[in-house]
Structure 1
Amino acid sequence: MKLIVKAHQQTVGNLSLDSETGLFAFEYAADWLALDARFPLSPALPLERMDMTAEQHSAAVRQFFQNILPEGQALDDAAAANRLSKSNLMGLLIALGRETAGALVIGLSDALVQSPVESQQRLLSREELSTRIRARPDDAFSVWDGKVRLSIAGHQDKIAVFEQNDAWYLVDGEGLASTHILKPDPLRRRLQHMTSNELACMHLAQDVGIPAAESRLTGVPEPVLLIRRFDRVVTDKGVQRLHCIDSCQALGLGVSMKYERPYGDNRDVQHIRDGASLPRLFALVDRASAKPAADRLALLRWTIFQVLIGNTDAHGKNVSFFVDAGGLSLTPTYDLVCCLLYADARIADTLAMAIGDNFDPVGLTAYDWAVMADTCHLNPKLVSRELKQLAEKIPSVWPDLQRRLRENGADADTLAAMGDIFLHQCAHTLKLAAEIPTVARDLL
C-alpha cells in the first residue's frame, strides 16, 4: 500500500506500508528534493535519511503520521464512520488526509482514485449546527454528510469549516480548505461554559503579549467558540495551507507520549518521565529553530503563562511549529484553558510537563523554577524577570478584559471563578520570583 503526500500542490513523497512485514516507510520525491523551498516533514524525518534500521525508520514514520489523527472519541467516530480499525493508520489517512493540520494532503495516487473528489462547499446554517450540538449524545459531532469533518488532534468536539462573509461552509476537495475550527461546550455538565473559559484564556494571552490564535464566541444559540486557523491564509487565489507540526511530531514521539509522565501519576510509575518535557522542547528549539533566541523567549513566556492561568493540560501536542526551508518557528498558542477550574471534575490537577521536578501548579517554589532554568539552559535572572512581568501584567489587564468578555457573551460566573485562580497564581508567583537567581547552583 502506498499513499502520496503533497504540500502546496507538490508531491513531497510516498508513504508506504509493507503488508508482510508491517513496516512503514517514507521516501521524499526527487522533484521535492530539487526545490529551493523544500522542507522536511519534521526534524524526526529529515530530507536526508538518517542512519537507522528499517524498524527504527518505520517507528519514526508511524509516529509522525499517527499524530495527524484526531484522538479519543473523535478517532472512534472516524474509524466507525469508515468501517476501519483504530489501528488502521493507512485507512484512516485515506479517509481523513485531505484536510489535516498544516499543509499536508494525503491520499491515494491519482491513478488509483476511482472517483476524484471535486472541490465543493456546502452551507452550514446556524440552525443545523444547533441541532447537531443538541444531538451529540446520539450522533457523532465530527461526522457530517457521512464524512468525518476533522483530522485535528485533540479530544474536544470540534469541526473544521470555511468561513466567508460570516457564513460557514463544509468543504471538500484539495482545492479548498477550512479556515476556522468550531468548538461547542463539552457534553459534561461540570464542563459547561468551557467555551467562555478558552475564549478568556486566549484573549488574556493576547493582552499580555503572547501570540494566540484569534477566537470569538458566538451563539447558535448554544455557545460556540470560533477559532481562526493560523495554518491557513486566505488569498485572492483561495486558501493557502502552511506546514506546521506539533512538538510530538518534531521530537519523534508518539501521541501517547504527549505528557511528560506518559504512564500517569500513579505512585508506581510517576518516576517515569519519557514523554514531552520542557528540557526536550528547549533543546529542540536550540537545534532546529530558524530563530532560536526569539523562540526560546516565546517558549519561556508560554510556559509561565500556563502556570499562571492554571492550565494543567499544556502538553506536548499543545506546542506547535511552522516548518519551512529555514527551519522551525513557534506558532501562536492555542488550546488554552484554566483547568484548575475543574479540579473537582476529574480533570488532572497536575502539570502535563514539570517545572523542574515539580508537577504541582499551586505548590511551585523558587527552587523548582531554578531547576527548570538550569535543565533548560535559561538564565535564572531572565526566568525571574519574565515571571515577575507576567504575574504583574495579568492582574492589571484582567478587569477590563473580563468586562469586555461579559459584554461579548462569555459566562460571568465562569469568568469570576477564573479570575480568582489567576490572582492566586500570580500572587504566589510574585512572592518567589525574586528568589530564583539566588538559589545556589550547587543545589541544582
Structure 2
Amino acid sequence: MISDKAYIWVFLPGLAEPVVCGVVAWDGVEYVFRYGKSYLARPDAIPLSIPGRPLGELTGDPYTLDNELSGALRDAAPDAWGRRIIQREIAKTIDPADGRRKSEPGEIDYLLGAGSDRIGALDTSESPHIYSPLPRHASPLEDALKAAEKMERGEELDEKLDAALNHGTSIGGARPKVLFQQDSDFWVAKFSSSSDTVNMIAAEAGAMKLAARAGLNVADVDVLKVAGKDILLVRRFDRQTTTDGTVTRRHMLSAMTLLDLDEYAVRTGHASYLELADLLRKYARNFERDGRELFQRMVFNILIGNTDDHARNHACFWDGTALNLTPGYDICPQPRLGYSADLAMAVGDQGRAARLSNALSEAERFGFADDEASECVGAMRQTVESHWKKAFSAAGMAAGDIEYLTKATLLSPSIFD
C-alpha cells in the first residue's frame, strides 16, 4: 500500500461542482469510512447508498469496509482493465531513497488513481479542502487503440501512447477501453481483445441495437473504424449537459452494491435478478416501469446467450431518495459450443438456468401477471428470431461469425426446454 487515506467528493444532484463528503482510511487493520461534519450539516446531503448498505445512512459513526472497499466506493474504483493500467504505472515508479519500486498498490491507491472522469458522481482527492481533479489526456482514439494492443502484448509504451491509455481507468470490465469526450457528448470506446474468438465489437453493437428494437432502454452505440479496426462507441448516461453547457453527473450504484455482494460472490453466481427486483419494488421511483424492464433484460440475455450478465453489468441511478434503473449496457452474446448454459444471476425457481420457463416461473416478482409475462416473452422471442442476423450483419459481423453464433449461442434450443 502506498496511500492510506483518500477524501471522497460527490457531485450532488444537479450541481456542476463537487463537495467533499467523507474520508476513507486504512487504520492499520481495516478500511474505515466516515462522513464529514461539513457534509452532514448540508441540507442537500444524500447518503451514498440505499438504507441498510455500507454508507447508506448519514451518520458520524464510522463504517468498516471490507478489503475491496465495499459498496459505493467499490463502484467508483477501477475494475480489471483499469487496475492493470494503474499497476503498470506504479511499477514504473522508483523510490529515490533506496532505488527500489514502491510497494504494491492497495485499494485506496486504485481509488485515487482511477481518474476524475470516472463513471458516476464520485471522485477522490488527497485534500479535504481543495478539489484537484487528475488531468485529462485528450488523445486520438488511434493512439489509445495502439496503446491497448501493445499493453495486451506486454510491450513498452512511449510517452505519447502512455498518455493515451491513462485516461478512463475507472471503467469496469476486463476488455480494453478508454473514455473520451466529443463536443458535448461523452463516450466509452471499447476495443477488441486478442482473446476474442469472434468479432466481439460487432457482437455487442448488434446485440445493443437488437435490444433497442425489442423495446429495451439501452445506451446508444455506434461502431467506428479506426486504423482498420472496429471500435465500439457507447454513449455515457452518467453525464448530462445542460442548455448553458454545464455538465452534471449522476450517482450510480451497481447491482453488486445494491445486493451487498463482493466480487467473489458476483463471480460465483450468488447474485439474483429476483432479489434485485425486490429491491426495486422497495426503492424504485417507478417499479412498474423498472421491474418490467429488468425482466425483459433478463429474458433478452437468455435469448441471445449473454451469460456475462453479472451484477456489475446492472446499475441504478440513486439520488438519495429513490432508484431509477440505468439504461442497459454490456449486453453481448458470449460464444459457446455447449448445449445449455446458466446466466450469471439467478433467474427463477430453476436457479441460474438460461431457460424461458425459468424466467416465467417468478414473473410476478417483476410486476407481471402470468399472461402478461408470457406475451412479453413471446414478443421478444419473435423480434430476436426475425431480426438478429440482420442486426449483427449491419454491425459488421462476418457471415462465418454469425454461423458460429447460430450453433448454440443465439436462440439455443436449450432455452426452450
TM-score, scaled relative to structure 2 = 0.81
Structure 1, unmatched stretches of 5+, are: 166-177, 263-274, 433-444
| Matched residue, 2:400 | 413
Flag the 1:216–1:145 CA change in 2: closer, same or farther, 3 A.
closer
Q: Which deviates the most, 388-397 or 283-292?
A: 388-397
Q: Equivalent residues in 2 for 1:20-59 (5 A)?
A: 20-27=28-35, 29-31=37-39, 34-36=42-44, 38-43=45-50, 44=53, 45-49=55-59, 57-59=64-66
Residue equivalent to 1:122: 138
Match of 2:280 among 278, 285, 294: 285
- 2:299 aligned partner, one-letter code: I
- The root-mean-square deviation of aligned C-alpha atoms, in Å, is 3.3
Partner of 1:335: 330
TM-superposed CA distance for 1:121, in Å, is 5.1
Does residue 3 in structure 1 map to residue 7 in structure 2?
Answer: yes
Gaps in structure 2 of 5+ consecutive residues: 92-101
**Residue 190 of structure 2 is aligned with which of 183, 194, 201?**
183
Q: How does 1:13-412 map to 2 (within 5 A)?
A: 13-27=21-35, 29-31=37-39, 34-36=42-44, 38-43=45-50, 44=53, 45-49=55-59, 57-59=64-66, 62-64=69-71, 65-83=73-91, 88-109=106-127, 116=132, 122-124=138-140, 126=142, 128-135=143-150, 136-139=152-155, 144=163, 147=166, 149-164=168-183, 179-190=186-197, 192-220=198-226, 221-235=228-242, 236-259=244-267, 261-262=268-269, 275-339=270-334, 341-343=335-337, 349-356=341-348, 357-361=350-354, 364=355, 366=357, 368-373=358-363, 378-398=368-388, 400-402=390-392, 404-405=394-395, 409-412=396-399
**Residues 313-351 of structure 1, C-alpha deviations (whole Å, 9 max, x = no match):** 111111111111441100111111111x2447xxx9432
Aligned length: 387
Q: Which moved more, 1:89-98 or 1:41-50?
A: 41-50
Q: Distance in 1 between matches of 2:153 and 2:39?
A: 48
Q: Identity rate of aligned residues, in percent? A: 20
- Structure 2 vs 1, CA of residues 350 and 123 (structure 1 numbering), >3 Å: closer, same or farther? same
**Matched-pair contact (CA < 8 Å) for 1:67–1:255:** no
* CA shift for structure 1 position 244: 1.4
Identify if the C-alpha distance between structure 1 residues 365 and 395 changes in structure 2 by more than 3 Å, giving closer, same or farther.
closer
In the superposition, the TM-score normalised over structure 1's length comes to 0.76
SS across alignment from 2:172 = coil
Judging changes above 3 Å, is the alpha-carbon distance between structure 1 residues 88 and 422 closer, same or farther for their aligned structure 2 residues?
Answer: closer
1:137 maps to amino acid: R
- Give the superposition deviation at 1:96: 1.4
Deviations 1:83-111 (A, max 9, x none): 57666111221221522211112112265
Contact 1:82 1:95 in 2 (8 A): no
Q: Is the 8 A contact 1:244 1:321 kept in 2?
A: yes
Task: State how far apart, in whole Å, the 2-side matches of 1:140 and 1:211 are.
Answer: 41
Alignment check: 8 A CA contact 1:75 1:86 kept: no
The SS at the match of 2:248 is strand
**Per the alignment, in what secondary structure is the counterpart of residue 4 of structure 1?**
strand
Deviation, 1:396, is 2.7
Q: Given that residues 11 and 32 in structure 1 are in contact (C-alpha distance below 8 angstroms), is that contact kept between their aligned partners in structure 2?
A: no
Higher mean Cα deviation, 103-112 or 214-223?
103-112
- Tell me the alpha carbon deviations over residues 116-171 of structure 1, each in whole angstroms, 9 at most, x when there is no partner: 55866534153x24432442312489953684531012111111111239xxxxxx
Q: 1:200 to 1:70 in 2, by over 3 A?
A: same
Change (3 A) 1:384 1:101: same
